[in-house]
């Protein structure tokens, strides 16, 4: 190998070997045990909108400030940095830990709301698993019990209503799936069970309508010997429906079916 080539290789290896030693100022501060410098720098990054770097600094400060007056602020801003960085999963954990350590802090109500917001943002469409929705509803309920007149109470009430409607829709659509599959007996049972468990379901009118339609179609498709008895069930469902929703857009259709059944 030529002497010039060997020298070039050694030069490259020397440069590469020196790279890890050339740490940035940020890395040096992150590894530092200088609380004052790290604390100031963390807020500088936070105020500059560099939330990921701020979060790393605040996280490293949690051990250094543990047991001091600053620990409260450090833990709160750790959560707030991750929240502002849209890392809602990590931020929710941060705020939960914060509330465990500092339940009576001046930041606690706002931390509780930010945790709720993280949980709310983690909920899924009604077609998917609603476990996160139940978790968010529980957290919102606790917040409203503790802070009924809190700064974020109205937002929480609105979200509680929205999440409740999402659960109502899931129950309604699950029952309607039987109807679409033309399993009318199962669909009527499913619709009735919804109102048994939740009489105030926001889809109550549609549920009663599909209950009546299910009982009618189930009777119409039955053998002749069972038809009369099963049409009586439809008549009951019809009367229940018009008793609650006499002006419904479904009234005309159900009236026609009711008149048809009475003629038999």
- Does 172 reside within a domain? yes
Residue 9 confidence (pLDDT) above 60? no
d(CA 211, CA 204): 10
Report the sign of the C-alpha dihedral through residues 194, 135, 122, 109, in that order: positive
pLDDT value, residue 11: 43
Q: Which domain holds residue 52?
A: 25-119
Average pLDDT rounded to a whole number, residues 41-61: 97
pLDDT value, residue 14: 41
**Are 174 and 263 members of one domain?**
yes
- Does 202 reside within a domain? yes
pLDDT value, residue 16: 38
pLDDT band, residue 17 (cuts 50/70/90)? very low
d(CA 105, CA 152): 17
Average pLDDT rounded to a whole number, residues 14-38: 74
Residues 190-226 have pLDDT tens digits of 999 999 999 999 999 999 999 999 999 999 999 999 9
pLDDT band, residue 264 (cuts 50/70/90)? low
Residues 127-182 have pLDDT tens digits of 999 999 999 999 999 999 999 999 999 999 999 999 999 999 999 999 999 999 99
pLDDT value, residue 263: 74
**Are 114 and 178 members of one domain?**
no
184: domain CATH number is: 1.25.40.10
**Are 88 and 167 members of one domain?**
no
d(CA 53, CA 73): 17
- Does 13 reside within a domain? no
- 93's CB contacts (< 8 A; 6+ apart) are none
Angle between the N-to-C axes of helices 153-180 and 204-220, in degrees from 0 to 180, rounded to the nearest 10: 10
- Does 219 reside within a domain? yes
Mean pLDDT estimate for the chain? 92
d(CA 247, CA 231): 23
**Are 198 and 114 members of one domain?**
no
d(CA 136, CA 120): 6
Average pLDDT rounded to a whole number, residues 236-248: 97
- Does 74 reside within a domain? yes
**Are 53 and 108 members of one domain?**
yes
Share of the chain above pLDDT 90, in %: 89
- Does 115 reside within a domain? yes
pLDDT band, residue 22 (cuts 50/70/90)? low
**Are 174 and 248 members of one domain?**
yes
Q: Give the Å distances, CA to CA, from 99 to 64, 84, 88, 164, 194.
A: 19, 18, 16, 26, 36
SS3 sequence, the chain?
CCHHHHHHHHHHHHHHHHCCCCCCHHHHHHHCCCHHHHHHHHHHHHHCCCHHHHHHHHHHHHHHCCCCCHHHHHHHHHHHHHHHCCCHHHHHHHHHHHHHHCCCCCCHHHHHHHHHHHHHHCCCCCCCCCHHHHHHHHHHHHHHHHCCCCCCHHHHHHHHHHHHHHHHHHHHHHHHHHHHCCCHHHHHHHHHHHHHHCCCCCCHHHHHHHHHHHHHHHHHCCCHHHHHHHHHHHHHHHHHHHHHCCCCCCHHHHHHHHHHHHCC
- Does 148 reside within a domain? no
- Does 209 reside within a domain? yes
- Total domains in the fold of the chain: 2
Average pLDDT rounded to a whole number, residues 184-191: 97
Average pLDDT rounded to a whole number, residues 222-244: 95
**Are 100 and 181 members of one domain?**
no
**Are 172 and 243 members of one domain?**
yes
Residue 257 confidence (pLDDT) above 60? yes
pLDDT band, residue 262 (cuts 50/70/90)? confident
pTM for this prediction: 0.83
């Amino acid at each position: 190998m030529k002497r010039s080539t060997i020298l070039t290789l050694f030069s490259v290896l020397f440069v590469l070997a020196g790279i890890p030693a050339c740490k940035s100022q940020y890395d040096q501060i992150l590894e530092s045990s200088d609380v004052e410098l790290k604390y100031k720098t963390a807020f500088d990054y936070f105020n500059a909108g560099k939330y990921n770097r701020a979060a790393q600094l605040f996280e490293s400060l949690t051990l250094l400030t543990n047991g001091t007056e600053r620990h409260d602020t450090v833990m709160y801003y750790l959560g707030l940095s991750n929240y502002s960085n849209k890392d809602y999963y990590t931020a929710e954990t941060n705020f939960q830990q914060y509330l465990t350590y500092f339940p009576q802090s001046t930041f606690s109500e706002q931390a509780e709301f930010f945790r709720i917001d993280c949980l709310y943002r983690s909920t899924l469409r009604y077609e998917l698993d609603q476990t996160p929705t139940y978790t968010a509803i529980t957290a919102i309920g606790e917040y409203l019990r503790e802070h009924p007149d809190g700064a974020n109470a109205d937002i929480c009430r609105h979200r509680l209503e929205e999440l409740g409607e999402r659960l109502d829709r899931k129950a309604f659509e699950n029952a309607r799936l039987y109807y679409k599959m033309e399993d009318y007996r199962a669909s009527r049972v499913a619709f009735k069970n919804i109102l048994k468990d939740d009489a105030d379901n926001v889809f109550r009118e549609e549920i009663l309508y599909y209950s009546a339609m299910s009982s009618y179609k189930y009777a119409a498709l039955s053998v002749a010997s069972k038809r009369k008895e099963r049409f009586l069930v439809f008549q009951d469902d019809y009367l229940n429906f018009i008793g609650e929703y006499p002006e419904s857009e479904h009234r005309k259709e159900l009236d026609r079916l009711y008149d048809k059944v009475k003629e038999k």
